[in-house]
Amino acid sequence: MEQYLTDDQDPKTAEKILGKLRDMLTSGEAIIYLAIQKKPAVTLIPDCIAVTNKRIIFCLPENLGLTTNFITFTWEDIKEVSFKEEFFGAKFITVPQRGENIAIDYIPKVQARKLYQICNEQIEKNKGLSQSIDADDRRSHLGNSNTSDDYSSYVEIEEEEKPFIQPQAPPAEEVDDEVTAKLKKLKMLFERQLITSEEYERKKADILSQL
């Protein structure tokens, strides 16, 4: 219990509260810090604030200390915490995401400052963890979505094999007709004196070589 008495916490109150809190802890949960109210006069039944790695717990005595009202918030349910130093101690204020604020006064100033520091550390850790989980979920969803899209739009296309067609030579009759037409045209050009006799003979020899 000595680890919770580093800032002048009342030993008797700490022992009583810690005994009750240990029965409330869940698997993997541990108490990090305990702040105990201390009024200017004698404080017979003080309020307490306990911080664990999973939540913040307000321990409010009722029925002259015979019962205790435990108000708990997980770190994801906490919007922010603050404290205001007063002449006697400090008022520690917790602002939840929903509902009314909870304020405990007469918390020793040293304990209030330590409480503020530890609470903010836990809030930041929870935010980082939540962002990491969200990022992993987004990557997982994106990967699954891409995989689904890839397979849903994938269509295997086989290249159609075209048969090879051996080119065929034109019939001999077509060749003869083509050569005859070229010779007639060439002769017409010569008769109109559009080409010389040398050009006529040379072109004629070229056309006849195609036979």
In DSSP terms, which residues pair with 80 in a beta bridge? 95
Q: How confident is the model at residue 157 (pLDDT cuts 50, 70, 90)?
A: very low
Task: Give me the phi and psi of 144, to 5 degrees please.
Answer: -65, -40
Query: What number is the average pLDDT over the span 22-51?
Result: 93
DSSP 149: H
Residue 145 lies in a domain: no
| Same domain, residue pair 117 and 183 | no
Quote the pLDDT of residue 168: 61
Is there a domain that residue 11 lies in?
Answer: yes
Same domain, 125 and 63: yes
- Which two tokens mark 167? 């080119």
Q: Which residue's structure tokens are 């017979």? A: 44
Final residue of a structural domain among 76, 106, 131: 131
Domain finish residue from 103, 131, 159? 131
Let me know whether 41 and 111 are in one domain: yes
The answer to whether residue 38 is domain-embedded is yes
Residues 34 and 98 in one domain: yes
Please report the pLDDT score of residue 146 as a whole number. Answer: 57
Q: Are residues 86 and 181 in the same domain?
A: no
Range of the domain at 193: 172-208
Q: What average pLDDT does range 122-145 have in this prediction?
A: 76
SS3 20: helix
Residue 139 lies in a domain: no
Exposed, middle or buried by CB within 10 Å (0-12, 13-18, 19+), for 157?
exposed
- For residue 116, is it within any domain? yes
Q: How many CA atoms lie within 13 A of 97 on its CB side?
A: 8
Q: How confident is the model at residue 42 (pLDDT cuts 50, 70, 90)?
A: confident
CATH assignment of the domain containing 31:
2.30.29.30
Confidence bin at 154 (pLDDT 50/70/90): very low
- Predicted TM-score (pTM) of this structure: 0.62
- The reply to whether 65 falls in a domain is yes
Residue 13 pLDDT > 90: yes
**How many structural domains is the chain composed of?**
2
Q: Report yes or no: 81 and 92 within 8 Å, Cβ to Cβ.
A: yes
In a domain, 136, yes or no: no
Residue 71 domain-assigned? Answer: yes
pLDDT in tens, 67-93: 999 999 999 999 999 999 999 999 999
